Copies of this chain bind each other. A is one copy, B any other.
Amino acid sequence: MNKEFFKKTFKEKKLRMSHPRLLIYMELSQAKAPLSAQELYQCLTKKHKSIGLTSIYRSLELLESIGMVFKIPNGSNGRYKLCELEGHHHHIVCKSCGKVLELGLCEISGWSEKVMESTGFKITDHQLNFFGFCRECNLSKEEKGLEG
């Protein structure tokens, strides 16, 4: 993920490549962990990048809506992570350490068809998140005898 990908995507989707949007994209692409809006604001301000907090919220919302950024649900409130996968995909979140994994394959379409038939809805999209414990957290739980 780099500036070229950002440009390509924004061109394709006919979105404006504004300064704040690129700043946030770049900052997230360097981040080691998911960041909140406030954290982004502080990071960028420290680096003497001029940006308003309002724009951060708005840019994050946009980037999320086009699937470039994942907003981590539950727990680590309002933190955002750049997606490595292009296009439609889903996520697994570790409830213990917060690790996020991306899943490229989506197996919803068959079910989705059935739901459309039975409900009369025209389904255009969906969101799915898995929650659980990553291998590492599972192992350390077993060591501690909290399970298994």
List the interface of chain A (C-beta within 8 A of B): 73, 92, 94-95, 101, 103, 107-108, 110-112, 115-116, 119-135, 138
Contacts and interface: CB of A to CB of B under 8 A. Distances in A.
A138 B132 CA distance: 37
Say how many copies of this protein the assembly contains: 2
Contact of A124 (B112, B123, B133): B133
A135 to B, nearest CB: 4
A95 to B, nearest CB: 7
11 contacts: A92-B119, A107-B111, A112-B130, A115-B130, A119-B134, A121-B132, A122-B133, A124-B131, A127-B127, A127-B128, A128-B129
A133 B115 CA distance: 12
Contacts of A131: 123-127
A71 to B, nearest CB: 10
A129 B130 contact: no
Given A107-B111, A127-B131, 6 more contacts: A92-B119, A95-B124, A112-B130, A116-B132, A122-B132, A124-B131
A89 to B, nearest CB: 12
